[in-house]
């Protein structure tokens, strides 16, 4: 009798085969559990990021609401202060005419001459200061629009101008070159177009600052090709590696130092543009700069 006909051998082979099948089933089950755990961890992390993104967007919306409130509060006293200064300027002009007639007989002639020369300049500087504050408040109100549900026709040239004015203090050492053609309006939310432009411009500013170039330039181009409107924001800053470029739209991914960026700005930009059926493309090269192109649909 051979081993193959031996019942003990047959039972051994059957048990060995069953044990191998059970081990294979256990291995398959363990692998499936591991893969599901990995997927679950990824989904949990994604949910956490989405929650943080929603919290951040809520904070931005609240900040916009607060900014709008503060701007309105400033606007009210500012209006009557400007009006009063204008009236005061008229009164001072009348007073100066009277003073000029009497100054020849006044023993304190030199002081009066100084006052006559200095007053108009003081009033002019005050006027310029108040109107500068008025412009800042106007830009802040434009940026802080909180009508997030309302889609309106946007004049892109005006939106670009407002964004550049709002970032004026950050652009003191950077040359802004604008090549803006007359284009059709676009359907967009006012507050969201402001977020898009400001986020991209801030990135361009920081790229220029990081490059330490002697002649930092940000070029803004706007042109229309049939029913497509193309906006390009080009900087000659530090540029990006291919890895950074691939991850630039990931939520909370940032290459900036702690305290200078949350890594959420471009993620929000992408979300907004996708919601409004607009496209964004980025070309960048380390040491040469970045070109961000947004394509809108004309109204």
Q: What is the DSSP letter of 151?
A: -
**How many angstroms separate the CA atoms of 162 and 181, rounded?**
16
Of residues 239, 234, 207, the one with CA closest to residue 223? 234
Q: Is the pLDDT of residue 148 over 70?
A: no
Given pLDDT bands bounded at 50, 70 and 90, which one contains residue 139? low
Task: Count the Cβ atoms, other than its own, within 10 Å of residue 230.
Answer: 17
Q: Are the C-beta atoms of 270 and 250 separated by less than 8 Å?
A: no
The DSSP string of 267-284 is: HHHHHHHHHTT-EEEEEE
Position 72 scores a pLDDT of 67
Q: What's the Cα-to-Cα distance from 210 to each of 91, 244, 256, rounded to whole Å?
A: 52, 15, 10
Q: Is the pLDDT of residue 168 over 50?
A: yes
Residue of 31 and 107 predicted with greater confidence:
31
Q: What is the DSSP letter of 239?
A: -
Residue with tokens 């706007």: 222
Q: What's the Cα-to-Cα distance from 287 to each of 238, 263, 290, rounded to whole Å?
A: 5, 21, 9
% of the chain exceeding 90 in pLDDT? 19
Of residues 157, 13, 140, 160, the one with CA closest to residue 72? 140
Position 220 scores a pLDDT of 96
**How many angstroms separate the CA atoms of 279 and 273, rounded?**
6
H helices present in the chain, as ranges: 7-102, 109-143, 156-166, 190-211, 242-247, 265-275
User: pLDDT tens across 6-55, in order?
Assistant: 777 777 788 888 888 888 888 888 888 888 888 888 888 777 766 666 65
% of the chain exceeding 70 in pLDDT? 75
User: pLDDT tens across 225-284, in order?
Assistant: 989 999 999 999 988 888 888 877 776 556 655 444 544 567 778 888 888 889 999 999
């Amino acid at each position: 009798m051979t081993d193959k006909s031996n019942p003990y051998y047959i039972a051994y082979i059957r048990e060995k085969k069953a044990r191998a099948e059970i081990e294979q089933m256990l291995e398959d089950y363990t692998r499936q559990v591991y893969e599901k755990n990995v997927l679950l961890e990824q989904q949990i992390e994604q949910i956490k990021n989405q929650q943080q993104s929603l919290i951040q967007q809520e904070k931005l919306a609240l900040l916009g609401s607060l900014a709008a409130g503060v701007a309105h509060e400033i606007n009210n006293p500012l209006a009557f202060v400007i009006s009063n200064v204008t009236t005061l300027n008229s009164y001072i002009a009348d007073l100066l005419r009277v003073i000029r007639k009497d100054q020849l007989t006044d023993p304190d002639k030199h002081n009066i001459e100084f006052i006559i020369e200095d007053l108009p300049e003081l009033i002019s500087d005050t006027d310029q200061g108040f109107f500068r504050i008025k412009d800042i408040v106007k830009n802040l109100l434009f940026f802080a629009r909180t009508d997030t549900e309302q889609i309106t026709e946007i004049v892109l040239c005006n939106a670009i101008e407002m964004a550049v004015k709002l970032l004026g203090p950050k652009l003191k050492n950077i040359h802004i070159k604008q090549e803006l053609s007359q284009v059709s309006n676009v359907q967009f939310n006012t507050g969201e177009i402001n977020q898009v432009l400001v986020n991209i411009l801030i990135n361009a500013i920081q790229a220029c600052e990081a490059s330490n170039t002697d002649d930092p330039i940000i070029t803004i181009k706007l042109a229309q090709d049939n029913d497509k409107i193309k906006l390009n924001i080009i900087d000659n800053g530090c540029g990006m590696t291919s890895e950074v470029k691939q991850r630039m739209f990931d939520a909370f991914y940032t290459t900036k130092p702690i305290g200078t960026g949350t890594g959420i700005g471009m993620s929000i930009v992408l979300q907004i543009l996708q919601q409004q059926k607009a496209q964004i493309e980025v070309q960048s090269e380390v040491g040469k700069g970045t070109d961000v192109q947004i394509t809108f649909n004309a109204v």
